[in-house]
Amino acid sequence: MMIFNCEIETSILDAAYAEAEADYPAESCGLILGCETQKRGTCFVPLRNHAGADSLHSFRVNELEYMNVVLKGRSTGLRPLAFFHSHPDASPCLSKRDLASHTIDGQLLFPGQIHVVASVVQGKRQSVQAYYYSPESQGIPGKENRLLSQFIEVSS
């Protein structure tokens, strides 16, 4: 399936959705890795949600775990292409907390990366949206600068 400029295999998205359903009612998160030049996502690696008691409404990634996934991917020629997380019993819109976690001091942490958000209602996946911050983006999407990012509905 084409998500912005990346072709992500349906089986990879299915693996991410399955993880989100298994983690319900907590938020689920993980990385979709693949070939950077071909922009083809071929691998999903779930990450543990370290948000503790807040995990029903948010997620927190352990930086060391994240880096280990990235480095292990690199050793096999894979790069992170998309970040996946779920919203239990909520819409797949990026939350204020999501937006805040994508920047430090107004600078994007992962310019060019796609974010896939899956809504999981009563343990079953529902709608999915994907967001993309172009490398030229200077800020986060909002009413005033919506054009800096795009989102699409992903058929699930």
Distance CA 73, CA 61 (A): 17
Chain residues 47-86 in contact with Zn ion, contact rule CB under 5 A: none
Would the CA dihedral through 98, 131, 70, 156 be positive or negative? positive
Check residue 96 and give left, alpha or beta (phi > 0: left; psi -120 to 50: alpha): alpha
What's the Rg (C-alpha) of the chain? Answer: 15
Assess 95 for contact with Zn ion (CB under 5 A): yes
Task: Name the residue with the smallest CB distance to Zn ion.
Answer: 98
Q: Among residues 95 and 127, whose Cβ is nearest to Zn ion? A: 95
User: Binding string to Zn ion for residues 96 to 115, with x set by CB under 5 A, is what?
Assistant: --x-----------------
Q: Among residues 39 and 66, whose Cβ is nearest to Zn ion? A: 66
Residues at the interface with Zn ion (CB under 5 A): 95, 98
